[in-house]
Amino acid sequence: MKLTLKIWRQKNAKNKGKIVEYPIDGISPDMSFLEMLDVLNQKLITAGEDPVAFDHDCREGICGSCSLYINGEAHGPDRRVTTCQLHMRKFKDGDTIFIEPFRANSFPVIKDLIVDRSAFDRIQHAGGFISVNTSGNTQDGNAIPISKHAADEAMDAATCIGCGACVATCKNSSAMLFVGAKVSQYALLPQGQVEATDRVQNMVAQMDLEGFGNCTNTGACEVECPKGISLENIARMNRELIKANLKG
């Protein structure tokens, strides 16, 4: 396959960035999108140019490192995949592909296609946990039965990989799908009840502090989420927050 890549290049957070065009040839449809970028980078390095920086690690869709806004879509045109799982067979010979970083005020660019998503970590520091020490002397794992339905729903929420596609996709740069998923995981489990009030209040407060926008129910985040995290989680977070605020 022969392609034209239009890639966002930005030396660092302080410099201005711009789109640079790179023609590329000899791409196999069996390559993953990142392997295609590997090919480009090997060429750039050999030619004495600076390779395109992008985040990636596990390359099997679970670590949440890879990002990329490809032709205007987070993680590209395929559904339920991360960029590392996107394959070139989804494109046609001769295509022009725009590649940009995940954009949001709360995700400043570090270099080229790499952004700083530490705001997500800080939201988790505010309350994304159950306060239980590792004594090993907690009660037996089967002491509190949890209905399969609740356990499965908690699991569905917990599959969030923290990639930030929801934020990048949202016109308000809202992080509510991400936060809602964590709040939901714990809200659905008996172990999460004790701290439910503080957790949702603290996490939402931190989310606001980080400058993420609000949810206006467009549902774009759910569509682009590589793990298919449901909008229900946002609704549940709102319910939890109202409940918490009423309790005081």
Partner 1 sequence: MALDSKIPKGPLSDKWTTHKNNINLVNPANKRNIDVIVVGTGLAGGSAAATLAELGYNVKAFCFQDSPRRAHSIAAQGGINAAKNYQGDGDSTYRLFYDTVKGGDYRSREANVYRLAEVSTNIIDQCVAQGVPFARDYGGLLDNRSFGGVLVSRTFYAKGQTGQQLLLGAYSAMNRQIGRGKIKMYNRHEMLDVVIIDGKARGIITRNLVTGEIERHSGHAVVLGSGGYGNVFYLSTNAMGSNVTAAWKAHKRGAYFANPCYTQIHPTCIPVSGDHQSKLTLMSESLRNDGRIWVPKKLEDAKAIQNKTLKPTAIAEEDRDYFLERRYPAFGNLVPRDVASRAAKERCDAGFGVNATGEAVFLDFASAIIRYGKEQAHVKGLNENDENLVKSLGKEIVKSKYGNLFQMYEKIVDENPYETPMMIYPAVHYTMGGIWVDYNLQTTVPGLYAIGEANFSDHGANRLGASALMQGLADGYFVLPYTIGNYLSDDIRTGPISTESKEFEEAEKNVRQQIDKFINNKGTKPVDYFHKRLGKIMWNKCGMARNEKDLKEAIEEISALRKEFYKDVLVPGDADEFNEELAKAGRVADFLELGELFAKDALVREESAGGHFREEYQTAEGEAQRRKEFQFVSAWEYKGEPKDAQLHKEELVYENIEVKERSYK
Closest distance of CB 137 from partner 1, Å: 8
Residue with tokens 């799908």: 177
Query: What is the rounded CA–CA span in Å between residue 175 and residue 9?
Result: 25
Residue 155 sits in the site that holds partner 1 (CB under 8 A): yes
- Residue 64 is which amino acid? G
Q: How far is CA 62 from each of CA 84, 85, 139, 162, 205, rounded to the nearest angstrom?
A: 10, 10, 30, 9, 28
Give the range of 16-24, 97-105, 124-132, 207-215 binding partner 1 by CB under 8 A.
Answer: 124-132
Residue 78 sits in the site that holds partner 1 (CB under 8 A): yes
**Which of the residues 165 through 204 are near partner 1 (CB under 8 A)?**
185-186, 189, 191-192
Which residue in the set 19, 151, 209, 242 belongs to the binding site for partner 1 (CB under 8 A)?
151
**Which of the residues 39 through 58 are near partner 1 (CB under 8 A)?**
39, 42, 44-46, 48-51, 53, 55-58
CA dihedral 8, 12, 17, 20 (to 10 degrees): -40
Site size toward partner 1, by CB under 8 A? 79
Both structure tokens of 50 = 């600076």
Q: Kindly give the pairing relationship between strand 73-74 and strand 69-70.
A: antiparallel
Residue 159 sits in the site that holds partner 1 (CB under 8 A): yes
Residue 85 sits in the site that holds partner 1 (CB under 8 A): yes
**Which of the residues 55 through 74 are near partner 1 (CB under 8 A)?**
55-65
Between 161 and 231, CB nearer to partner 1: 161
CA dihedral 32, 60, 63, 18 (to 10 degrees): 0
Residue 142 sits in the site that holds partner 1 (CB under 8 A): yes
**Which of the residues 8 through 37 are near partner 1 (CB under 8 A)?**
11-12, 28, 30-32, 34-35
Burial class (CB in 10 A: 0-12, 13-18, 19+), 9: middle
Between 215 and 224, CB nearer to partner 1: 224
